[in-house]
Amino acid sequence: MITFNNVSFRYEKEKPVLQDVSFHVAPGSKTGLIGANGAGKSTLLKLLCGLEQGSGEITVGGLAVTPDNLSAVRQKIGFVMQNSDQQMFMPTVYEDMLFAPLNYGISREDADRRINEVLQQLQITELKRRHNHRLSGGEKRMAAIGVILVNNPEVILMDEPTSALDPANRRMIIKTIRELPQTCLITSHDLDMILDTCERAILLHDGRVRAAGPAGEILRDRPLLEACHLELPLSLSGRY
């Protein structure tokens, strides 16, 4: 579903953020993208959406991520941003969920039906008419996921989906991710969440893929994690 082939990227006059990154994400799988601050995780997601452009080849569902293909590629992708305020720009949750379907030519009736289905799926029907500025952080994060799901994308990208959430909302996010049928690529410093939701993990260090494989194996490899300035998940470290 997703392939990176020798992808590199740098911001102007800075050292490379990503260097010769190659990996594959299988359809329907959930993959955690992990690494210390500055490893290149968020930049990688931006490249995947075409928000930044580097060298090498990126494909989504067989489509190359190039300027000519961006419209088609973005119809395959839903991006849950780390800061929900950057994603939700309409006055209410309902209006945010309605915006993209109408712009994609879906009828108001079909869009309303889909919105109600997603709200029920996420157990947030009470948020439908709420104003975004009155939502808590956890409510807004769940609503942001709803905004993405209503378009039924083939691929869902999530950037730090559990950051700054209380335990109850964190558990709801984990439950939601587990139940999603879509291909998911998730960046997070919450390694316990990655362990709970992802079959595979990709470990970035200094802009390169240091390891890729079963999440359970990578997240249990203390020497590997410490070499990349990470620690074992709390559930495996004996500190719980």
Look up the CATH number of the domain holding residue 39.
Answer: 3.40.50.300
Per-residue b or e along 117-156, where b marks 16 or more CB atoms closer than 10 Å to that residue's CB? ebbeebebeebeebebeebeebbbbbbbbbbbbbbebbbb
What pLDDT score was predicted for residue 97?
A: 95
- CA 234, CA 231: separation in Å to the nearest integer? 8
Tokens of 66: 């190039």
What pLDDT score was predicted for residue 239?
A: 55
What pLDDT score was predicted for residue 68?
A: 93
Place of tokens 């990470």: 230
* Residue 221 DSSP one-character state: -
- Please report whether residue 69 resides in a domain: yes
Pair 199, 29: CB distance under 8 Å? yes
Residue numbers in the chain where pLDDT is lower than 70:
238-240
AA letter at 21: V
- Please report whether residue 17 resides in a domain: yes
Calculate the CA dihedral of residues 83, 99, 30, 230 and round it to 10 degrees.
-10
Helix (H, G, I), strand (E, B) or coil at 71: helix
First to last CA, the chain: 36
What pLDDT score was predicted for residue 57?
A: 97
Domain span including residue 19: 2-83+154-237
What pLDDT score was predicted for residue 229?
A: 95
- Please report whether residue 133 resides in a domain: no
Count of structural domains, the chain = 1
- Please report whether residue 23 resides in a domain: yes
